[in-house]
Structure 1
């Protein structure tokens, strides 16, 4: 089972952090393996890296945590966190927000399907086109496949 879980609840559809923790507990009691997703809320919690990862790691029933990495420094940092090792300030300063962004192309016809699909209310319609609020977008990609015009890109 792959629950979306982070300390802010970003990306959780139809519930709260507490609801998801309860669901994780039920899955664990049923003997299921649980692989946590979006522990850093698509990069929004990068400035609270250790706290955010430890929040998810300490949820009873979580078997593993998916963490995206693109550099050997990020791998080294995450290994230190998951092995409860001391982390140098130099290594901490090398962490970075994800390089991906969500783009709405001019093909958008303003149907609003993506707006209704977004679990974080990061999309809205302005002047007949979808617009992204990057402060709310966690790069989950749920909006992409529902766009009938293929106007949404996660690059």
Structure 2
């Protein structure tokens, strides 16, 4: 069975800030996308101007987001998550911590961190700073580079 790659993007409240939205866009453009957002009560000014206006989804609670992530990942026995930024991976990994000493039950999960100095999500994304569209732009870029 071929490994399925999921392209990851996350938006957060400034560098090192709380997660606002996260997306996993599968390699197959016909497969379902995971895209969820959390409330952001005190956004940085840049985030308030550029990220929150383009969320295009209703924020949910962290427990609900975790449950949806578990359901999404459960359909693939060995997902490979591809990212271009380490903080995106960190936010996804932190979603898998469900409490002190507890973690999300998940399949084997692999991460691939790519160094893409020429990739510019703001220029290539249909909706810049929207995690779903930025992850789709990452997918398009990576797949085009690998042809």
TM above 0.5, one fold? no
Report the TM-score when normalising by structure 2. 0.33
Which structure's relative contact order is higher, taking Cα pairs within 8 Å and 6+ residues apart? 2
TM-score between both structures, scaled by the size of structure 1: 0.32
Pick the structure with more strand per residue. 2
* Bigger radius of gyration among the two: 1
